[in-house]
Amino acid sequence: MNADTTQEPTTTRAPWQEDAGRDLVRSFGDRMALFVRGEGAYVWDGDDKKYLDFLAGIAVNALGHAHPVFVEALTAQASTLSHVSNYFATPPQLAMAARLKRLAGTGESGRVYFGNSGAEANEAAFKLARLHGRGTDRTRVLTLKGGFHGRTMGSLALTGKPALQADFLPMVPGVEHIDATIEALEAAMDERVAALLVEPIQGEAGVVELPEGYLQAARELTERHGALLIVDEIQTGAGRTGAWFGFQHAGITPDAITVAKGIGGGFPIGALITFGAASDLFFPGTHGSTFGGNALGTAVGGAVLAEIESAGLVDNAARRETQLRDGIAALGSPLVAGVRGRGLLLGIGLTSPVAKAVVAAAQEHGLIVNAANDDTIRIAPPLTIGDAEVADFLELFGAALATVSDALILEGAPA
Ligand SMILES: *Cc1c(COP(=O)(O)O)cnc(C)c1O
């Protein structure tokens, strides 16, 4: 089928749109813009139009775009030593592993497995669960309905979204998706459960928080039944929620966490971090990755984490949350139902299923946000944002909401 069949006959497509439609895999929809450069919380498109980037590459660019710390770490390491394979170690790899252990609070006994993405971190977590049950009938892996853990076959099996799985059956066996309630977990737990994998806040589901006390109950139940508790911190980690990792708000110690997105600040890197006895499950020959943890990626990731720490960006995430919540409420838009989430991972619930229209209007006004689902706008800006960016966001977002609510009133629909 020709790519042009999806084209509106009346719109003229820019050359880059033609190229994208012809050359890029069609597993994504049409690209919304062509971005050519960025600085801080702003990006510019091919026509030099400026946008405030409140998505940050989906919670990835923790320091914003082209941060001097990121640029310096990348260029200095690239001109020193980029890659040697995992037959060997490098100083940046050891430094980043030690830093992740400290920030996650694993203590001495923790260990870090480096991969290149969130999905790979969760693949490693899946294998950890299998190793935990190795040689027994402890083969069940529990995850939550609506949860998102990645798109590779293992991480897709873990993902609690049947619509994403339907075209790729059969799934890797042994995974069960349960309701996100403490009662459902109590009912599902037994001695055949190897692991429970949960996100502290379900980002892709629309910034959905766990029920009050869920992680504490999950810790207690998994411990009682000898199962691992693994927390997917790929979106919530690296300071985004106002703690280094989302589980820390609950005051629990998991057996493992998975991280990616923000820890590289834009460089592709992910990791599985294990705590206590779970750190002894992998043994030589059980897992690996050619690129995982190479000197270039860990130099950048280590520098990004060091900057988040020294610039106080974890506290900044918490402080800006309050400002954003107050400011969004003060907009007084009839389209806003409420705000969910924590720190700088917020879901703005809408009173109508018009999230896509709001995203398009925001883009017109020069603001990048994301429709996490039909009635939720997700924002995940750089952790570096200050008063000026918050004020800019509120002005642009207010304008986008007004554009959409005016259009709804014109159509006679309830706004
Ligand atoms: C993004 C995400 C993943 C997948 O990460 P990729 O780098 O896209 O493979 C897994 N879990 C959560 C919670 C995520 O937000």
Q: Which of 116, 152, 204 to mutate to test the pocket of ligand 1 (most atoms within 8 A of CB)?
A: 204
Query: Residue 248 CA to chain centroid, in angstroms?
Result: 17
C-alpha closest to that of 185 among 155, 211, 203? 211
Q: Which atom of ligand 1 is nearest to the CA of 119?
A: 9
Q: Is the dihedral of CA 114, 115, 118, 124 positive or negative?
A: negative
Please give the torsion angle defined by the CA atoms of residues 351, 352, 357 and 363, in that order, rounded to the nearest 10 degrees. Answer: 10
Residue identifier of the C-alpha nearest atom 10 of ligand 1: 149
342, containing H or E segment: strand 336-342
Q: Based on the number of CB atoms within 10 Å of its own CB, is 47 exposed (0-12), middle (13-18) or buried (19 or more)?
A: exposed
Phi-psi region of 292 (alpha: psi -120 to 50; beta: other; left: phi over 0): beta
Q: Which atom of ligand 1 is nearest to the CA of 120?
A: 9
pTM of the model: 0.96
Q: Which of 122, 261, 291 to mutate to test the pocket of ligand 1 (most atoms within 8 A of CB)?
A: 261
Task: Output DSSP code: residue 225.
Answer: T
What separation in Å is there between the alpha carbon of 119 and the centre of ligand 1?
6
Band (5; pLDDT cuts 50, 70, 90): very low
What domains appear along the chain, each with residue ranges and CATH number?
15-67+312-410 (3.90.1150.10), 69-310 (3.40.640.10)
Task: Give the chain's end-to-end CA distance (angstroms, integer).
Answer: 39
C-alpha closest to that of 182 among 209, 158, 147, 218? 218
What separation in Å is there between the alpha carbon of 150 and the centre of ligand 1?
5
pLDDT by residue (tens digit) across 103-136?
Answer: 999 999 999 999 999 999 999 999 999 999 999 9
What separation in Å is there between the alpha carbon of 324 and the centre of ligand 1?
25
Catalytic residue set: 148, 232, 261
Q: Which of 235, 257, 267, 291 to mutate to test the pocket of ligand 1 (most atoms within 8 A of CB)?
A: 235
Task: Tell me which of 7 and 52 has the higher pLDDT.
Answer: 52
Q: What share of the chain is helix, strand, coil (3-state, %, to 5)?
A: 40, 20, 40
Q: Is the pLDDT of residue 28 over 50?
A: yes
* CA separation, residue 4 to residues 24, 32, 34, 151, 317 (Å): 14, 16, 19, 27, 43
What separation in Å is there between the alpha carbon of 179 and the centre of ligand 1?
20
Rounded-to-integer distance, Cα 76 and Cα 74, Å: 6
C-alpha closest to that of 247 among 277, 221, 216? 216
- The position carrying tokens 């000197």 is 295
Using DSSP, state whether 154 is helix, strand or coil: helix
Strand-pairing partners, residue 39, are 42
| Cβ(415)–Cβ(337) below 8 Å | no
C-alpha closest to that of 97 among 298, 346, 371? 298
Strand-pairing partners, residue 342, are 345
pLDDT by residue (tens digit) across 286-343?
Answer: 999 999 999 999 999 999 999 999 999 999 999 999 999 999 999 999 999 999 999 9
DSSP secondary structure letters along 288-328? --SSTT-HHHHHHHHHHHHHHHHTTHHHHHHHHHHHHHHHH
| Ligand 1 surroundings by CB, under 6 angstroms | 117-119, 122, 148-150, 199, 203-204, 232, 234-235, 260-261
- The position carrying tokens 């106080």 is 312
Q: What pLDDT, on the 0 to 100 scale, is given for residue 1?
A: 38
Phi-psi region of 341 (alpha: psi -120 to 50; beta: other; left: phi over 0): left
Q: What pLDDT, on the 0 to 100 scale, is given for residue 411?
A: 81
Residue identifier of the C-alpha nearest atom 5 of ligand 1: 118
Rounded-to-integer distance, Cα 88 and Cα 94, Å: 11
Between strands 336-342 and 228-232, the pairing is: unpaired
pLDDT by residue (tens digit) across 132-164?
Answer: 999 999 999 999 999 999 999 999 999 999 999
What separation in Å is there between the alpha carbon of 405 and the centre of ligand 1?
32
Q: Is the pLDDT of residue 375 over 60?
A: yes
Q: Which atom of ligand 1 is nearest to the CA of 270?
A: 7
Band (414; pLDDT cuts 50, 70, 90): low
pLDDT by residue (tens digit) across 191-239?
Answer: 999 999 999 999 999 999 999 999 999 999 999 999 999 999 999 999 9
Q: Which atom of ligand 1 is nearest to the CA of 122?
A: 10
Rounded-to-integer distance, Cα 39 and Cα 368, Å: 14
Q: Is the pLDDT of residue 2 over 50?
A: no
The one-letter amino acid code at 39 reads E
